[in-house]
Structure formats: structure tokens, C-alpha cells
Structure 1
Amino acid sequence: MRTLLSALALLTVVLVPLTAEADQRKPNFVFFLVDDLGWTDIGVYGSSFYETPNVDQLAKTGLRFTNAYAACQVCSPTRASIMTGRYPTRTGITDYIGAPQPERWNRKTKMLPANYEMQLALDEVTIAEVLKANGYATFFAGKWHLGSEKYFPENQGFDVNQGGIDRGGPYGGKKYFSPYGNPRLEDGPDGEHLPDRLATETVKFMTEHKDEPFLAYLSFYSVHTPLMSREDLKQKYLEKKKTLKHGEIWGQEGERKVRLVQEHAVYAGMVEAMDQAVGKVLTAVDDLGLEKDTVVIFMSDNGGLSTSEGHPTSNLPLRGGKGWIYEGGIREPMIVRWPGVTKADTVTDQYISSVDFFPTMLEIAGIAAPQNVTIDGMSFAPVLEGQSIERGPIFWHYPHYGNQGGSPSAAVRDGDWKLAEFYEDGHLELYNLRDDIGETQNLAEQHPELVKKLHAKLEAWRQETKAKLPTHRETAAK
């Protein structure tokens, strides 16, 4: 049962529309969320190997963000932040769901990770619930990873759920190929490819609801492990790989080797299959005559996998990758097309966080934000209109050890400056991202007052959001 507070919040949304004309059609939303896609994994973002013509074309018709951030360097916390507009510290989902809790922790690490919530609570108000309360048909396809069956998409505001379960990857059946072994996705013909199937389901939903406003949320399992590609795409990139000329393939990030060159044929095939699925949905938007009524959003949930689990991609010039507080773990490719508003083939360096989608989508739809619910995000609708905003600081808090080598850490970005704090020893690193996107020069000693100022903001935010901290083993044992 939902709390009375949430019910009142949703009721307030229904009763306080911002649109001047009640009968004016609200825009549709098509939201593409890709799993583990790195900042430079898209052609228009500078990929040297992968081919993504459909996403590149979307960028040519919309606005491309160069400083868009996930709220966390791993998946579940970012996904919850998009759903709620709230930082992971508020939802309590600060690690990927399924990671060992402290009482089950058996790694030889300096600290014990903090506890985290293993589901998106039903009394959290989701973007799907708000849109549904305001006349939208709502659809989810793909990866959910925000709790067990009680917390699946159909219980969080989505009318339709195709494939959204508790798993973080396509781990049933033949994984990326049918039969899927997914209790929320009926098996297709033997060998059917999962990204194409999810796109087909999305098109079906849009077709059935083309005469009413809708939210179609296609949350790819791609390009998460297991690394599996269609054979034709794999062979294509094996041939392309033979033509490459490059230097050293491997570098070092801490104790982990990190990939420096994009040349993984299977991963490239996964990226292109995702791109083809995006193209299938966007073609349907046009064919259904909905191109002028549909806002399209494209984003990833965390950085590319460069330091672990096959090391399939490189995030250069960014440092690190999935699981790390460095830019390679949190900076994402992001494109938005708002017909009649965003200018074609434009780029912005405005920095935003995934918590900002919730208020932005509501402003675009002319819907009032929920009352009595703390929303951390700030609408970037003015940016889509060609204006700038004073975003203020954005924050990260990851009191865990990632599978990819990252350690418990936090960060704040304010303007061009980013301060990172590492909980094991408390050391601080300061970077000017305008001048040093690769985070190669720690300027903490040169700017002690700035470090003090940013660290105070980070600490105040942690206290305000009641962030849980990791503990040193000696402290935990007492």
C-alpha cells in the first residue's frame, strides 16, 4: 500500500496542471536507457571503432550534452535516480542490487561497505506514476533491476512491463537470444535477438497508444555482460579490426589494467545491435506521424566497462570506467530531441545529473511537481530552449567496493571543478574538468581554500541526505 503522503502528492499533481489549455495534447516521451554504455561508445561522441548511425542521426536532429552525468558509477542507483529525481542517498539504493551487504562481505578490503536498500520503495513517487496520473499510457521494456517481484515496473506506475525483473543482466535461457527465460518476457522464435525484440515491443505499444500521450521507456539490457553478439556483427568487426592501426592496448588504473583502445569485436556488435534497435523505434515514431509530438531522450546508466569483466571498451580521454568515481565511470552520452524546441545538430556543455530528468520531463509536459516530496533534480528544460542555467553542485556517494576496482568514494562537481574524496584514507583530489577532462593533474595542494569549500558542500549534502558511510574494519569490530 502506498503511503497517504504519496497518494496526496499524486492527487496534487492531478489537480494542479501547469498547461494553459487542458485539452492541449501533452508530448509523448521515448526514453532510451542503455546499460554500461561509455561516453565515447557512440560515433558522434568520438568512437574510433563502433558504428552507431541511428544514434548519430538522433544527435543531428537534437541537442547533444557533453557533460551529462549518471548519479552513480553503477546501475541500480542511477536507475532509481531517473525514476524519482532523487539522489541514491535518499532512495537508499547506493549499490547495484544484489551486491553483498556488510554481513556477507568476505573480500579482504580496508573497509566494510555500507548497507543499502535492495528495492525501490513503493512509497517513492516515480515519473511513471506522475505521468500516468496525468493521462499518460506508460510502458517499460528491458532491464529494471530495482527490486524483486513486488517492486517490478507494473507496481511502480507502468501499465506494461516487457522484460523488467530483478536481474541485472539477461541471465536466463540463452541470455541475449530466445528463449530468454525471463518471467516478464514471452519467448520468441529460437534465436530471436533481445535488443530487437525489446524494440519491437516498444513499437507495438506506441502503435496501440498513438492517439494518447505516452511514456515508452526502453531500458536496454545491452551492452551489459555477458558479452554476446549476433554472429554477423561479430564477423563484421573482426574484419574491421584487421584494418586498425593503434598503439598500446592496455594501461593501468590503480591495481587494474584498463583498456586504451576500442577494438573488441563482440562488444562492437552489441553496440551496433543496440543502435539498430534505437533506429527501429525512431523509424516507427516517424511512420506513426508522431515525430512532432514526441520528446526523445538517450542516456546511459554508468560508464563503460574498461577495467574488468572482459575489459570490452575504452573511455579515453576519460579516466577509469564503470565502478569508478572518475569521469569514465559517471559521465554519459546523452541526447535530447524536443520537436520545435531543441535546435538540430547542436551541442551544450551544460552539466546535468540523472536526477534532473524527473523535473525536466514534468516541465516539458506542463505538469506540476509532486508536493511534499523532496526532489533533488533541477529542470534543464531552459537548456533545451537554448538558455543556460546555474545548475549548482551535483553530488555522488558510493560507500561500496565496485567489482571493477573502484573503492568507497564520493564527489562533488561545482562549475568546472570536481572534488573527489576516497573514504579508505580520506584523501582528496581536485580537478579542473574544463582544462583536464582526463583528471591527470590533482590540484588539491595548489587550491587548499577551494578544497575546503567544496569538501564542506559535500559533507553538508551527505548530512542533509542522511548518507550511510562505510566503516573501517577496526571500528566495525568494536
Structure 2
Amino acid sequence: MFRTLPFLLFAWTHALAATPNILFILADDLGVRDLSIEGSTYHETPHIDRIAREGVRFTHGYATCQVCSPSRASIMTGKYPARHGITDWIGAATGKNWNRNNRILPSEYTLHLPHEDTSLAEALKEGGYRTFFAGKWHLGGEGSLPNDHGFDLNIGGHHRGSPPGGFFSPFRNPKMKDGPKGQSLPLRLANDTATFIKDKAGSPFFAFLSFYSVHGPIQTTPDLWKKYRDKAGKSPHQGDRFLIDRTLPVRQVQDCPIYAGMMETMDDAVGIVLKALDEAEIADNTIVIFTSDNGAEVTAKTATGPVRSNKGSCFEGGHRVPFIVSWPKGKIAKGKVSDQLIGLQDLYATFSEIMGVPLPDLRKGEKGAEDSLSLLPAWRGKKLIARPMFYNDHKESKDGAACAMRLDNP
């Protein structure tokens, strides 16, 4: 026994060293064409673009719902909203409290992330990962916060879906101390995440950086406002700046300096955590994912084209999102673009495969991650199996398109 112990310790240490770290960056209400790598000539996002240059950019990435809480719950459970039960943003009026004159009332929904499901963080923690959460949670209050669902450390995650104090300190966040007056919220979250990365660089970690950006209120600094105001004045765009889609005026050109300033600050925050990976010399074996929880907000000063409509709608603008992944040691080709159909609920099965942990066997009646498919083959350039994808309308009677399904030809 004593002769084999050193070998076992070596094997265990080697296995931990080979296990990739995971840095998952989730934007809030980001339009599918807001990034410069996605075609924006007005917004500047060099750090996010770097992830795409070092990995794969998926042009057909989808959230499971057009609002935040259901989509975020799908990430954490590997399930569609109809299965995990959170079918609207938590806090929204529903049932008999729905105060619009509709013939059909929206159904009641679950008000917190279900405890009976093994969350993504819990699964990773069981696999030996240190887990960290920073930013927007919006999956329940006390008793259903990040620490209650597998995260070792929670900074800023609470029941609210928008930043209580806006994007500058004082933050008025019950789970995060205020910084110096005027401190940037996304930069603060990024610096706290960077500190965690450096502290845990010797063991596998799962760091979930969940920005409030670019959810309202739309705010930026005077310097960034001036920068993008001047840039907007040089825009070559000709023609209408808005078109009417049904009753909604849809912006056709990106020229809002406040929104562009928010985009730059969020990108700078991404740069902070990428720099932390570089300085800790762990970037090669860290999976970095950047995506959004749903499409651009209705009130956002951004263009959502070429897709129709935006957040809250079952049309594509509501649930089509950017999705970028890099992992140098994971045999992911650099600078590739894929048009394969993927969903945010697929991350659960993807990380399970990477850890070598089998998903529940549905054929035997086991439950869990029923709607999740591993994306690892697609990350490496292989074809995924054809399957339908479903998109939930959080208020069934609000839109003419109450729900949607996409089925690509096999």
C-alpha cells in the first residue's frame, strides 16, 4: 500500500493539472450584432474579439428564452424553461396579477432555481472544481442564491435583475460592498473575478462572471460619451435610423454614444480577466466562453439586425445570441466560424463530457439535463446531430408568435 501511494498521489495531481479551468462570461441583453467581431463598426470590443481569434465563433447560438431568468436557469440545469419551471423573469406579474386585457392569462411560474436539480455549479464542484460567482443572479432570493446552488463564493448575486444603484458606486447591492464613489460596476466585478483566478490558479476552477451590462439603465462616463458622440458624427449611414416592426420602432444603425460607452467598459472588464489568466500562466488550459442571456433589450439604443425584434419577443431578435469559445489545449481551432445550431442549455452536457461524468440515463428513468447536448464535437469542428430547438415565449398571449421551434435538415 505504501509503495503505491506516491503513484496514486502523482496520478491524482496529474489529473487535476490536466482538468481545464472554466471562465464563463455572460452578458445581459446583448444584441447579436453588438460586438465588433460580429460586424459592428461603431462599438469597440477588442478583448472579446480576442476570444474569437483564439477560438470558435458560433453564428447560430440561441438562448432558451427571450428574458433573463428562464435562460439563466437553462444554463444552470440543462433544461428548457417548460421543464425547469421558470418561464418568466422572476418578479414579473403573472396569473391573476397579470393586468393587461388579454383573453389568455400567462401561466404561473417557479420563483427560484429548483433545488431538486443538480445545478451546473454543483456538478462541477463534485468534480473537484472551486466555484465562483460574480454579478447578476436573478434566480431567486434568500435560500436560492449562488451559495445555495454550488458556488463557494458569491459577489453581487441576489434576487434583482437590474443593478439597484446603477453602474457606478454606491451599488446598493446587498451581496457586495460599495466601492469608492463612481467606481464602475463591471470593472469591479472583473477585478474581483481576477483576484479569484489568481488565488485558485493551482487547482481547477469554475468562474462565472455574470455582467449586468448592457441591461438598463444605460449609463457611461463623460469621457466615453464624448468619444462615441464624436464617432457617431462621422457615421456614413444614410437613410432611416428607425423602421417600424409591427408597433415597435427598431433602430437600424448603431450610433448611441452612451450604449457604446457601456460596451467598451464591459469589454475592458473582459480584458481584466483575460489578463489574469495570462499572468497566472493558465490561459492555455482554460475554457473561456462569452455569450448573452437573451437578445437586445427593447429600450436599448442599439441595432438588432439582421434578425427581427428583440428581448421579450419570440422572433429571432429575442433569443439569438453571440457565442464564442476558446480553449487552446482543447484542440479548438483558432479563428474559426461555425454556423452549427447550438443552445445555452447545452453547456451542462458539454462540461459533463469534459469532466468525464456521464449524464443521467433518461432511458432508465433517471432525471437531469434532459435537454442538453454536448457541444464539444462542434467546438472541434465536427457535426452535431440534427435536433429541434425550442424557444419559450415568457408571456404566451403577448406576441403573435407565442413560441418557436427551429429544426435544421439533418
Which of 186, 203, 209 is the equivalent residue of 2:200?
209
- The alignment's TM-score, normalised by the length of structure 2, stands at 0.92
Matched, 1:344 2:334: yes
Q: Check the 8 A contact 1:324/1:407 in 2, yes or no.
A: no
Deviation at 1:407, TM superposition (A): 5.5
User: % of aligned pairs identical?
Assistant: 44
2:261 is matched with which residue? 269
The two structures, once aligned, show a CA RMSD in angstroms of 1.7
The answer to whether the aligner puts 1:335 opposite 2:324 as a matched pair is yes
Aligned partner of 2:114 in structure 1 is: 121
Moved more, 160-169 or 113-122: 113-122
Query: Residue 397 of structure 1: CA displacement?
Result: 2.2
**2:358 aligned residue:** 368
**Alpha carbons 1:399, 1:408 under 8 Å: kept:** no
Q: Which has the higher contact order (CA 8 A, sep 6+)?
A: 2
Aligned-partner Cα distance in 1 for 2:319–2:399? 12
SS of 2:328 mapped into structure 1: coil
- State which of 378, 385, 402 in structure 1 corresponds to 2:380: 385
Displacement after TM superposition at 1:244 (Å) = 1.1
- Number of aligned residue pairs: 391
- The amino acid across from 1:238 in the alignment is R
Separation in structure 1 between the aligned mates of residue 301 and residue 402 of structure 2, nearest angstrom: 24
1:59–1:293 Cα change, 3 Å: same
Equivalent residues in 2 for 1:252-267 (5 A)?
A: 252-267=244-259
Task: Say whether residues 1:195 and 2:186 are aligned partners.
Answer: yes
For the pair 1:97 / 2:90, whether they are aligned, the reply is yes
Which residue type is aligned with residue 283 of structure 2?
Answer: E
Which residue in the other structure is 1:325 paired with? 314
Cα contact 1:132–1:138 (8 A) shared by 2: yes
Q: Does the 8 A contact of 1:65 with 1:333 survive in 2? A: yes
Given the alignment, which residue of 171, 176, 181 partners 2:167? 176
Among candidates 212, 229, 242, match of residue 233 of structure 2: 242
Q: Out of 270, 291, 315, which is 2:304 matched to?
A: 315
Q: Distance in 2 between matches of 1:127 and 1:377?
A: 12
Partner SS state of residue 297, structure 1? strand
Alignment of 1:38-117 (within 5 A): 38-117=31-110
Contact 1:73–1:302 (Cα < 8 Å) also in 2: yes
Q: In 2, distance between residues paired with 1:391 and 1:224?
A: 33
Specify the code of the residue in structure 2 equivalent to 1:62: G
Task: Map 1:388-403 to 2 at 5 A.
Answer: 388-400=383-395
Asked whether the 8 Å contact 1:71–1:395 carries over to 2, the reply is yes
Conserved? CA contact 1:176–1:193, under 8 Å: yes
Confirm or deny: 8 A CA contact 1:267 1:312 kept in the other structure: yes
TM-score, length-normalised on structure 1?
0.79
Q: CA deviation at 1:110?
A: 3.7
1:295 corresponds in structure 2 to 287
- The separation in 1 between residues aligned to 2:199 and 2:124, in whole angstroms, is 18
Superposed CA offset, 1:192-245 (max 9, x none): 000000000100111111100000000000000011112211111111111113
Is 1:178–1:191's contact at 8 Å kept on the other side of the alignment? yes
Asked if structure 2 preserves the Cα contact closer than 8 Å seen for 1:145 and 1:167, the reply is yes
The answer to whether residue 272 in structure 2 is matched with residue 280 in structure 1 is yes
Superposed CA deviations along residues 252-275 of structure 1, whole A, max 9, x for unmatched, are 121221111111111111111111
Matched with 2:23 is: 30
The 8 Å contact of residues 43 and 56 in structure 1, kept in 2 or not, is answered as yes
Provide the rounded CA distance (Å) in 2 between the counterparts of 1:87 and 1:102. Answer: 21
Listed as ranges, the gaps of 5+ residues in structure 2 are: 1-11
Where do 5+ consecutive residues of structure 1 fail to align? Answer: 1-18, 418-478
Does the 8 Å CA contact 2:133/2:157 hold for their aligned counterparts? yes
Structure 1, residues 247-302: CA drift from partner, whole Å, max 9, x if none?
Answer: 21111121221111111111111111111100110011011000111000111010
User: How much has 1:94 moved relative to structure 2?
Assistant: 0.8
Distance (whole Å) between structure 2 residues aligned to residue 401 and residue 261 of structure 1: 30
Mapped pair 1:139 → 2:129: no
Instruction: Give the aligned partner of residue 8 of structure 2.
Output: none
CA distance in 2, matches of 1:22, 1:195: 34
1:4-35 Cα offsets, whole Å, 9 max, x none, are xxxxxxxxxxxxxxx9x855531100000000
Aligned pairs for 1:394-413 (under 5 A) are 394-400=389-395, 406=399, 409-413=402-406
Cα 1:230–1:370, aligned 2, differ >3 Å: closer, same or farther? farther
CA contact (8 A) 1:229 1:267 kept: yes
Partners of 1:282 and 1:82 in 2: CA distance: 22
Please give the secondary structure, in 2, of the residue aligned with 1:386.
coil
How far off is 1:91 after superposition? 1.0
Alpha-carbon shift at residue 48 of structure 1 (Å): 2.8
Q: Report the Cα distance in structure 2 between the residues aligned to 1:321 and 1:68, rounded to whole angstroms.
A: 15
